[in-house]
């Protein structure tokens, strides 16, 4: 089989498997077909399949166990700075009661300048949602998010009564790339009041943009009181991080 292989077969296998994982088609714990099955499916040698799967294991996407098979890995990890965060699961880990309020929700069409800044097509619509997250009733973060309706049509009708926007997106929309910026700022009067802070208290701000195959999905700014949040990470020179 001498394919006109513009993309190497191994990479194709890997990207197809990764697609099922990042799309949620194969949830954490789902079993990946064993090597010999993929061998037949792609009519290639075992080494080729093995290299693809080994790479995914090294990247932490799957876990492989002899005799048992390969399984989609749990996405949770210690490198919290780099992970998409979810308030509900974070609260569960820390034994807190999580609640949230949707402060506002509007469908808007940004003007040209804003659309360009966001990387949206001119005239495309977004949903803008502002919300307040609480742990044990105490305000712990203010979130200002826009969601591209072009990328996420379902957001048109969603009112976020059952899950906050971040969680809803995480469970309903796949993403392939993200970028974040962490910075600090002083709280303004309104923000301070909302979060129960003294005016000018320091806040940690996380801005994150998420794409799915090149198309912007969401842009979010989350503001945390400095005394109630921190980002931690652990890494080594060989981990690729």
**Residues engaged in binding its own copies (CB under 8 A):** 18, 21-22, 47, 51, 55-56, 58-61, 75, 79, 81-82, 175-186, 200-204, 224, 226, 229-241
Considering CB distances under 5 to 8 angstroms, the limit depending on partner class, which of DNA, its own copies, none binds residue 34? Answer: DNA
Nearer to its own copies, 119 or 122 (CB): 119
CB of 50 to its own copies, least distance (A): 10
Considering CB distances under 5 to 8 angstroms, the limit depending on partner class, which of DNA, its own copies, none binds residue 11? Answer: DNA
CB of 72 to DNA, least distance (A): 12
**Bridge partner residues of 209 (DSSP):** 179, 219
- Alpha-helical (H) ranges within 173-221 are 189-195
| Cβ contact 75:83 at 8 Å | yes
Token code pair at residue 63: 């876990």
Considering CB distances under 5 to 8 angstroms, the limit depending on partner class, which of DNA, its own copies, none binds residue 21? Answer: its own copies
DSSP state letter for 78? S
What are the DSSP calls for 11-32, one per residue? HHHHHHHHHHHHTTSS-TTPEE
Nearer to DNA, 4 or 237 (CB): 4
Nearer to its own copies, 127 or 218 (CB): 218
φ, ψ for residue 220 (rounded to 5)? -135, 140
Considering CB distances under 5 to 8 angstroms, the limit depending on partner class, which of DNA, its own copies, none binds residue 126? Answer: none
For DNA, the binding residues (CB under 7 A) are 1, 5, 8-11, 32, 34-36, 43-48, 50-51, 53-54, 57, 64-70
Nearer to its own copies, 125 or 176 (CB): 176
| Cβ contact 241:235 at 8 Å | yes
How far apart, in Å, are the Cα atoms of 146 and each of 73, 74, 160, 209, 220? 29, 27, 13, 10, 6
CB of 26 to DNA, least distance (A): 14
Nearer to DNA, 49 or 195 (CB): 49
Residue 229, helix vs strand vs coil: coil
| Cβ contact 60:79 at 8 Å | no
């Amino acid at each position: 089989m001498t394919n006109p292989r513009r993309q190497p077969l191994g990479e194709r296998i890997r990207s197809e498997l990764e697609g099922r994982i990042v799309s949620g088609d194969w949830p954490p714990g789902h079993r990946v077909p064993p090597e010999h099955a993929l061998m037949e499916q792609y009519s290639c040698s075992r080494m080729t399949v093995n290299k693809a799967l080994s790479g995914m294991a090294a990247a932490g996407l799957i876990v492989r166990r002899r005799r048992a098979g390969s399984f989609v890995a749990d996405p949770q990890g210690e490198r919290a700075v780099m992970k998409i965060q979810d308030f509900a699961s974070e609260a569960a880990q820390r034994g807190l009661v999580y609640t949230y309020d949707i402060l506002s929700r509007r469908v808007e069409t940004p003007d040209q300048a804003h659309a360009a800044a966001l990387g949206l097509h001119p005239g495309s619509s977004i949903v803008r949602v502002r919300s307040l997250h609480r742990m044990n009733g105490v305000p712990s973060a203010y979130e200002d998010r826009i969601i591209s309706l072009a990328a996420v049509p379902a957001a048109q009708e969603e009112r976020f009564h059952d899950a906050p926007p971040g969680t809803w997106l995480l469970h309903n929309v796949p993403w392939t790339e993200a970028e974040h910026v962490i910075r600090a700022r002083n709280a303004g009067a309104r923000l301070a009041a909302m979060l129960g802070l003294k005016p000018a208290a320091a806040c940690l701000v996380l801005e994150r943009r998420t794409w799915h195959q090149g198309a912007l999905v969401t842009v979010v700014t989350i503001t945390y009181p400095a005394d109630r949040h921190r980002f931690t990470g652990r890494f080594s020179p060989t981990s690729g991080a």
